[in-house]
């Protein structure tokens, strides 16, 4: 059995380099598994949002207890509150976006807007223009072995 390099750079036993990963249709490595994962994510999104909210509440309670203690523990309270706020926003985001495809489009739009905002200060404006003109498929990661 041959070995190939995994996503983390380590060598792992597996199929010949370039062969489709298990679970994917011919020509699309991991395609079948990705479809199953997307479907499962759609099913569990509300459950995940509810869990995020429960953890957010526990973090808020813990932050309040730490702030009451005083001393070094008191300083940890605001950090826990920030973490709780982030979880709350994540749960709300999951509830308000209908699908993983919608989330993916939203993230893509935000990234493009951020890159556009850096034109002239961090990036050459002509490079930004050329980058943003690329189709999203051109920016997608290339599967190993292709």
Please compute the mean of the pLDDT values over residues 2-17 and round it to a whole number.
52
Please compute the mean of the pLDDT values over residues 109-135 and round it to a whole number.
88
pLDDT score, position 2: 47
| Among candidate residues 105, 92, 106, 103, the one with its CA nearest the CA of residue 42 | 103
| Paired tokens of 54 | 């429960």
Please compute the mean of the pLDDT values over residues 90-106 and round it to a whole number.
79
The more confident residue out of 34 and 30 is 34
- Could you give the CA distance from residue 140 to residue 146 in angstroms, rounded to a whole number? 13
């Amino acid at each position: 059995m041959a070995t190939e390099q995994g996503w983390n750079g380590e060598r792992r036993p597996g199929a010949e380099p370039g062969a489709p990963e298990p679970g994917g249709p011919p020509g699309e490595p991991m395609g079948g598994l990705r479809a199953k994962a997307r479907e499962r994510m759609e099913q569990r999104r509300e459950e995940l949002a509810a869990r995020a909210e429960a953890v957010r509440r526990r973090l808020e309670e813990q932050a309040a207890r730490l702030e009451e203690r005083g001393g070094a523990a008191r300083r940890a309270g605001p950090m826990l509150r920030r973490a709780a706020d982030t979880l709350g926003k994540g749960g709300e985001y999951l509830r308000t976006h209908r699908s993983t495809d919608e989330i993916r489009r939203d993230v893509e739009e935000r990234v493009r807007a951020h890159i556009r905002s850096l034109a002239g200060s961090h990036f050459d404006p002509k490079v930004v223009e050329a980058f943003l003109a690329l189709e999203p498929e051109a920016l997608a990661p290339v599967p190993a072995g292709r």
